């Protein structure tokens, strides 16, 4: 029988009325105002920024968990807290004006949960080896959400160790031998019991959503997710003093519509450490519609976007999207698209601890005021892992539609493997990079060291002899519609290729000074150019040393 629009309108009204009545019915305990919603104030939280509210918050979480799940609700107010322990089937909802404030142990009324033991802590830093010493943490939980327009303020969190040591003691620790064969664990990095160093920390969890919240001053990690499957991070704003989002050994991850300001460390970082006691790849990841930056801490959320604190962020911020450095398990099946870098380091893809970094597409990226290499691909042999760890692989990477303006003149874009271990099958399409320039003829003669076992960072090679791209130990690279320019004359060549096989350059353009070649080729095989400005079409089987 055909229904009239009046019938459907009445049915809709009934549904709305029924839903409202259900949501506001009283539960038998008499403590809660809405079914399945657990207001932390009903469990004793004051929300005045002075009282310690974490006991009440954890009581609300326990009550919701015992009932089979529900939403733990934070109305407007400031909730001073130590460790908040997540349970399965729980959502934390921070309403407008709600702030979870990380307490300071020096206040004397509590402490954060102790860092749990980890027999594999020699393979990664202290922060990656522990989860419980955090403001909000969950281990082995499923179906968990942290939602709402409120703020998580890690005011009492720390970014490294030194809580009770003097300046002289810390200087002595910096000079002392490390605690393990790989430089880890190092006593200077160990956060002492009672202190917290992460805003949100998750280990071996499933079906996790973090949406709409803001995080200020998140400690070593604003969000650390290790071994998490089915993770969604959406519309989150982070303004922090070290790493923003670290996704370690995770599968099926979606990061979207996020803004991360992190002048002192990485913004959005994929890792695959050995912290779980085995090598596990980070795979099936999308990062879309995000912004990373390195403005002075706090000035992103307050809208002033300052670059003048005269500290580390002035001229040398981090704030980038990066794969690595921890890379035991590798990275597979990753897509990054529609992202903005502003006043930060460039894009970095690194695997140095035995994992395979493969099957990656990156598209629609804009960068401005980049403080090191706009594009950095590194296969290395640090091999920080169990005995017998072999060199990994970096292959099948496509980077397209990239615009970079005002990049650091010291570092070109770098694509570098190591002897006998080449990066393979890299394609770059539709790329425009404007460097600041100023390189000298003396710099053009430099020979960057291999540094096979070093921490991967563009600065490891010193000033680069090419201003555009330095490509070494690579097998299979194609550039199509790539253009590099400088804002001030640079006397280094745009492209240097060293120990490269199967290189094709199509419609490549490069600004160059008089008497400076476009390409310098050293031990190159199967080199091809087509319609490259000021360079004849070339098909060379071998070039031991040639300038074009």
pLDDT digits (tens, 9 = 90+) for 177-210: 555 566 666 676 789 899 999 999 999 999 999 9
How is 209-221 classified by DSSP, letter by letter? EEES-EEES-BTE
Q: How far is CA 31 from the centre of its chain?
A: 41
DSSP symbol at 14: H
Assess if residue 520 is contained within a domain.
no
pTM: 0.91
User: Helix, strand, or coil here: 325?
Assistant: strand
Beta strands in 213-262 (DSSP E): 214-216, 221-226, 229-234, 237-239, 243-248, 251-256, 259-261
Assess if residue 213 is contained within a domain.
yes
Please state, for a pLDDT cut of 70, what percent of the chain lies above it: 88
Q: Give 376's contacts (C-beta < 8 A, 6+ positions apart).
A: 346, 347, 348, 349, 350, 413, 414, 458
CA dist 192 and 173 (Å) reads 15
Assess if residue 311 is contained within a domain.
yes
Supply 357's token pair. 């970094």
User: Helix, strand, or coil here: 151?
Assistant: strand
Mean pLDDT of 214-233: 98
CA dist 331 and 346 (Å) reads 19
Q: Is 443 in contact with 411 (CB distance < 8 Å)?
A: no
Mean pLDDT of 240-245: 96
- Whether the ω angle into residue 185 lies within 30 degrees of 0, i.e. cis, is yes
- Calculate the average pLDDT of the chain: 91
Assess if residue 475 is contained within a domain.
no
Assess if residue 5 is contained within a domain.
no
pLDDT on residue 190 = 85
Mean pLDDT of 467-475: 98
Helices vs. strands in the chain: H and E counts, helices first: 4, 35
At residue 458, φ and ψ (nearest 5 deg) are -50, -35
Q: Kindly report the number of other CB atoms within 10 A of residue 128's CB atom.
A: 24
User: Helix, strand, or coil here: 21?
Assistant: helix
Assess if residue 167 is contained within a domain.
yes
User: Which CATH number goes with the domain that contains 429?
Assistant: 2.160.20.10
Band of residue 388 on the pLDDT scale cut at 50, 70, 90:
very high
pLDDT on residue 468 = 98
Supply 505's token pair. 């350059």
Supply 152's token pair. 């998580």
Q: How far is CA 88 from the centre of its chain?
A: 26
Band of residue 162 on the pLDDT scale cut at 50, 70, 90:
confident
DSSP symbol at 465: S
CA distances from 236 to 88, 222, 257, 291 (A): 22, 11, 7, 11
CA dist 387 and 394 (Å) reads 21
Band of residue 44 on the pLDDT scale cut at 50, 70, 90:
very high
Q: Domain span at residue 378?
A: 43-467+483-496+510-515
Position of tokens 């999207």?
321
Q: How far is CA 310 from the centre of its chain?
A: 24
Mean pLDDT of 272-281: 97
CA dist 385 and 121 (Å) reads 10
Assess if residue 250 is contained within a domain.
yes
Band of residue 308 on the pLDDT scale cut at 50, 70, 90:
confident
Q: Is 203 in contact with 213 (CB distance < 8 Å)?
A: no
Q: Give 278's contacts (C-beta < 8 A, 6+ positions apart).
A: none
The tally of domains found in the chain comes to 1
Assess if residue 10 is contained within a domain.
no
CA dist 371 and 404 (Å) reads 11
């Amino acid at each position: 029988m055909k229904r009239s629009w009046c019938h459907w309108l009445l049915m809709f009204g009934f549904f709305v009325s029924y839903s409202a009545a259900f949501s506001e019915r009283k539960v038998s305990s008499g403590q809660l105002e809405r079914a399945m919603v657990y207001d932390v104030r009903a469990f004793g939280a004051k929300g005045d920024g002075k009282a310690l509210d974490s006991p009440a918050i954890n009581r609300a979480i326990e009550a919701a968990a015992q009932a089979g799940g529900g939403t733990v609700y934070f109305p407007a107010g400031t909730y001073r807290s130590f460790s908040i322990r997540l349970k399965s089937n729980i959502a934390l909802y921070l309403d407008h004006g709600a702030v979870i404030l990380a307490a300071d142990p020096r206040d004397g009324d509590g402490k954060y949960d102790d860092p749990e033991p980890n027999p594999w802590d020699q393979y990664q830093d202290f922060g990656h080896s522990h989860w419980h010493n955090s403001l909000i943490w969950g281990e082995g939980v499923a179906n968990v959400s942290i939602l709402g327009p409120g703020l998580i303020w890690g005011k009492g969190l720390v970014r490294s160790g030194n809580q009770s040591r003097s300046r002289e003691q810390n200087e002595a620790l910096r000079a002392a031998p490390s605690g393990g064969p790989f430089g880890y664990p190092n006593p200077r990095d160990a956060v002492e019991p009672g202190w917290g160093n992460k805003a949100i920390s998750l280990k071996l969890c499933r079906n996790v959503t973090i949406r709409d919240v803001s995080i200020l001053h998140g400690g070593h990690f604003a969000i650390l997710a290790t071994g998490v499957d089915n993770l969604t991070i959406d519309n989150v704003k982070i303004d922090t003093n070290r790493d923003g989002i670290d996704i370690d050994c995770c599968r099926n991850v979606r990061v979207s519509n996020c803004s991360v300001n992190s002048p002192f460390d990485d913004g959005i970082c994929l890792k695959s450490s050995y912290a779980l006691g085995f090598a596990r790849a980070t795979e099936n990841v999308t990062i879309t519609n995000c912004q990373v930056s390195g403005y002075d801490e706090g000035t992103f959320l307050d809208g002033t976007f300052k670059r003048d604190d005269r500290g580390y962020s002035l001229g040398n911020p981090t704030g980038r999207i990066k794969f690595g450095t921890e890379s035991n398990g590798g990275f597979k099946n990753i897509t990054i698209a529609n992202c903005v870098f502003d006043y930060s380091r460039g894009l970095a893809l690194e695997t140095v601890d035995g994992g395979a970094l493969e099957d990656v597409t990156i598209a629609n990226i804009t960068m401005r005021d980049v403080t090191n290499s706009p594009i950095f691909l590194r296969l290395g042999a640090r091999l920080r892992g169990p005995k017998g760890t072999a060199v990994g692989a970096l292959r099948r990477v496509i980077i397209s539609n990239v615009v970079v303006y005002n990049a650091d003149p010291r570092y070109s874009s770098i694509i570098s493997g190591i002897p006998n271990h080449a990066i393979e099958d890299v394609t770059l399409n539709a790329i425009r990079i404007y460097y600041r320039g100023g390189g000298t003829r003396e710099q053009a003669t430099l020979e960057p060291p291999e540094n096979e076992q070093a921490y991967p960072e563009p600065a490891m090679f010193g000033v680069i002899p090419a201003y555009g791209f330095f490509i070494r130990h690579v097998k299979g690279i194609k550039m199509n519609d790539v253009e590099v320019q400088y804002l001030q004359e640079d006397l280094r060549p745009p492209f240097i290729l060293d120990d490269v096989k199967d290189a094709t350059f199509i419609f490549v353009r490069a600004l160059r000074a008089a008497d400076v070649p476009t390409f310098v080729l050293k031990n190159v095989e199967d080199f091809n150019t087509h319609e490259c400005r000021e360079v004849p079409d070339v098909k060379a089987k071998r070039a031991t040393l040639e300038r074009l």
